[in-house]
Every structure is written in structure tokens, then in C-alpha cells.
Structure 1
């Protein structure tokens, strides 16, 4: 269901320590550590949790990315979400900055959250 979840945090050091320590007993480890934050997941999982730095004066950010089986599902998600009242935040298309087959669409949901559908497979 989930490909990845991104949580924006205001106190990055405290949140980083919390998530790394709290999720370690569940087999979750840091798989990427960069200037924007960290990505955590289990070695056998395709789903990840990303903790991102947010300016202290900004509202906390939430990004949900749902796994799509194919590019047609990404496109159908995008159309259905817009019809349901979402705002466009990125039409279906390749996002090569992530990897060569990252095909995704983004919308802003009713509460202002960034909602994505993504397919990692090459076009059939």
C-alpha cells in the first residue's frame, strides 16, 4: 500500500534520535542520511519512512506515497483525486531525479498534504 511516508519535523535532532531508537527493535535502520534528512526501512522492505527537516516557523509537512502496480494506475489515481477535489501538485510523469523508472503523480489533499501515487516499473 505505502511506498514511502515523509514526515516534516521542526526539531530534527530530537526527531531523528527518537525514530532511529524507537524503530531499531523492529529491525528498521537508516538507509540514507542526507542534507534533507534520513530515510529508514527494514532490509527486506520496499516501504520507507523519511524524516525531513522543516523550518521551525513552518507547519509540519506530511507526504504519503502509495504504490501503484503500473503507470496506468498512477494516471487513474491522478484523475480520480482531482475529480474528488484535490489540487494538482504534479501531473503523471517520469521523475528521473529519483531513478529512471520513477513514474508518479502528486496532488494536494483536502488537508493540504502532498499525496502521491508511484510506479517503479518500466513501461510495459
Structure 2
């Protein structure tokens, strides 16, 4: 799952870079405008499936009930902390949900380690 998250994050960064590059010349010609529009369409069409291993909104709801796929997906995501458009908002939402979730065994240990590292980072003890 972690490898997929990393590969998907790279794809999102690539798709987003195409938008940023094509926006600069979109007014130069109808062809350039179309290139930009297609870059935007592909980014938006693929973003949700690429951004999280399962349905993100649904996973946020299911974490509380201990759904294994949702919890594992969330833990993998926050452990990796992938960087792409809007990933920081996703990270914070997942941390907030995981903090309050009742987890067992290794999931609880992983969550506690992540939250501890996050608090150290927020306190300025970035190691």
C-alpha cells in the first residue's frame, strides 16, 4: 500500500505540474488553451482515485468504527506523509480522526508513534 501511495503522489505532482506549466501559455492560442483544459480535466478526473488508497471521505467516517482498510490506509498515509496538492489538509484530517479512534494492537502503537512525532515536530524539535 505504501508503494502505491508514493507512486500515486508522484503522479499527482506530475499532473499538477502540467497544469502549472500550461496555464502560463493558455491565452497564446486556442491550441494552448485546449492543452491547459485537458491538463485540468485529467488532473481532476484522476485526483480522487490517486490521492488515497480508498474513498477518503468514507475512510474518515469508518476510522471511528475501526474499519481495518480505512485505519490501515490512514496509518500508511500519515506515516509516509506524501507531498502533493492538498495532501497537508488530508494529513491533518487523518491525524485528527486517528487521535480519537479506538484502535487495538499494532494500529494503536503506530498511531501513538505518529502522533508523538507530530507533536515533537510542532514543538520545533524537528529531527
Q: Structure 1 or 2: larger strand share? A: 1
**Which one has the largest radius of gyration?**
2
TM-score by length of 1: 0.23
Q: Structure 1 or 2: larger helix share? A: 2
